[in-house]
Amino acid sequence: MINHIVLYPILVQLFFAIVLLFAWNSVRLQKSISIFGCIVSLALSIWLFITIWTKGTLTIQAGNWEAPFGITFVADIFAATLVLLTAISGLAVSIFSAGTILRARFKFGYLPIFHFLLLGLNGAFLTGDIFNLYVWFEIIIISSFVLITIGGEKKQLEGAIKYFTLNILASMIFLTAIAVLYGLTGSLNMADLALKVAEIENRGLVEITALLFLIGFGIKAAIFPLYFWLPASYHTPPPAVMAIFGGLLTKVGVYALIRVFTLIFVGEDFLETIILSIAGLTLFSGAVGALVQNNIVKIFSYLIICHIGFMILGLGLYTEAAIAGAVFYLIHDIVVKTNLFMVSGLIYRIKGTFSMRDLGGLYAHYPMFSLLMIIPLFSLIGIPPLSGFWPKLALITESFKIGNYWLIGAVLFATFITLFVIARMWSEVFWKDGPVLNKVPNFRYFQLLNKRQKLQMIVPMVFLAMVSLYIGFGAEHIQRLSSRIAVELMNNQLYIEAVLNK
């Protein structure tokens, strides 16, 4: 029995990227193909998710070479969930791009590159081979370089240089780590590595390799001392690009961290201490960074960093409930962050600025939009019935159990600052009577857009808000899903058996 379905999310994105390259000259055709492709991909991801949910982990050996010699693709429930979330965010951003991205950017191949980015994300989630993971990471970063620079404005290029340098450095560190790991074990298959690394007697070398992985993935995930590229670059590209970056790119680093540190490098006390302290510091520094900013997109950028801390914290605590909390937070965060950057895109379209000082009066003029925007904003804080509340609860309870009050302090501090920042944003952007702004000439204000473009901006936000509400009110389902993921992650034997057929 060969499970072709594992590869479908990858292949379908590749196929649509190629089709989009053929349609290079017709922007209108490209938009329709892209949206259609994302819908197909969403359908396939749902199919994959349901199959994995009922049948358990599936694997496929690319090229029919037996594991551990060939490249294995593994769809366990964790990977399938993330592929599903990628498809959801991808569809939303694809529609949003159709309404907001300038024609000139489409002319330079925005949409094909966007689909190559989704291809890389799906590949990174589904692969079971550490070097293949590196290749998918490269596909992701090359596509993201193009997306961040496309258009070639001054701030974009400046931001791109910072983004580019740090991400390549991260890849090089990752490659170095793979080289050392290959030298130690002679294998690249992650399940096989898990068995072989456990047997190595020279634990010092293993710990150093683990640290290299932590730094390499840490730069991509934007954890405490390694995040400075993120606020310097994320606010430069157009909002649609920010949405996909903020929603998924840092999360793929978190995914890799969770995968590697629950499968290959397990049970190193030294690492747990490091990860926990990094998590606390990430929470603290991201929150403080968000506190002092005035530009709403920069605030969201710092909040990304801050909330990465929650997921790293769950990984560091390393109990079943804590990992379930981290996974729940990951699921919630992808949807909410994508939506938040689209919200900021809509605010920008209405007012022509990101600065909180100049914004204001949105609630008076656009009450329905304000209601729409309040959902991601309040989910982010974690007001009880909404989605951010449940994972934080799990993380705090678990921190109590190990009695580390510094961590509880960091979590509460980060949550409180998020609340404060969002409340301030609410009063500044929505309630305050804003100053009268000078009309920017040649700027496509929201009021000037035609009906189709308006719909293309609103529909994805409504869609993601519904998903967000479901995560909040259907928390029981998501909790069951994340507990199952946590059980699978904590017992890496299950993954190894599925891959190596033992």
Partner 1 sequence: MKTIILKTASKYLLPLLLLFSVFILLRGHYLPGGGFVGGLIASIAFVVYAFANGLEQTKDLLRIHPGYLMPVGLLIAFVAGISPMFLSALPFMTGEWFAEPLAVIGMVGSALFFDIGVFIVVVGVSLTIIFTITESA
Partner 2 sequence: MEFLLALVTGLLYAAGLYMMLRRSLVKLIIGLILIGNGANMLIFLLGRITKGLPPIIPEESKVFLEPYADPVPQALILTAIVISFGLQSFAIVLIKRAYKVVKTDDLDQMNSTDEYS
- What does the binding site for partner 2 look like in residue numbers (CB under 8 A)? 131, 135, 138, 142, 145-146, 149, 152-155, 157-162, 164-165, 168-169, 172, 175-176, 178-180, 182-183, 188, 231-233, 235-236, 292-295, 298, 355
* Residue 302 beta carbon to partner 2: minimum distance, rounded to whole angstroms: 12
- Closest to partner 2 by CB, 70 vs 361, is 70
Q: Give the chain's count of helices (H) and strands (E).
A: 22, 2
* Residue 239 beta carbon to partner 1: minimum distance, rounded to whole angstroms: 28
Q: How far apart are CA 376 and CA 383, in angstroms?
A: 11
Q: How far apart are CA 474 and CA 15, in angstroms?
A: 34
Q: Which of residues 9-48 bind partner 1 (CB under 8 A)?
A: 11, 14-15, 18, 21-22, 24
Residues 6+ apart with CB under 8 A from 34: 16, 20, 94, 97, 98, 111, 114, 115
62 binds partner 1 (CB under 8 A): yes
* Residue 327 beta carbon to partner 2: minimum distance, rounded to whole angstroms: 30
* Residue 3 beta carbon to partner 1: minimum distance, rounded to whole angstroms: 9
* Residue 129 beta carbon to partner 2: minimum distance, rounded to whole angstroms: 11
- Closest to partner 2 by CB, 28 vs 357, is 357
**R_g (Cα) of the chain, nearest Å:** 22
7 binds partner 1 (CB under 8 A): yes
190 binds partner 1 (CB under 8 A): no
Residues 6+ apart with CB under 8 A from 484: 77
* Residue 17 beta carbon to partner 1: minimum distance, rounded to whole angstroms: 8
154: its two tokens: 């001054």
107 binds partner 1 (CB under 8 A): no
60 binds partner 1 (CB under 8 A): yes
Q: How far apart are CA 376 and CA 372, in angstroms?
A: 8
Q: How far apart are CA 311 and CA 308, in angstroms?
A: 5
173: its two tokens: 């560190």
Taking CB under 8 A as the criterion, the residue among 27, 35, 51, 61 binding partner 1 is: 61
493: its two tokens: 């034997």
Q: How far apart are CA 20 and CA 14, in angstroms?
A: 10
Return phi, psi of residue 295, to 5°.
-80, 125
Q: Which does 60 bind (CB under 5 to 8 A by kind): partner 2, partner 1, none?
A: partner 1
Q: Which residues bind partner 1 (CB under 8 A)?
A: 2, 4, 7, 11, 14-15, 18, 21-22, 24, 60-64
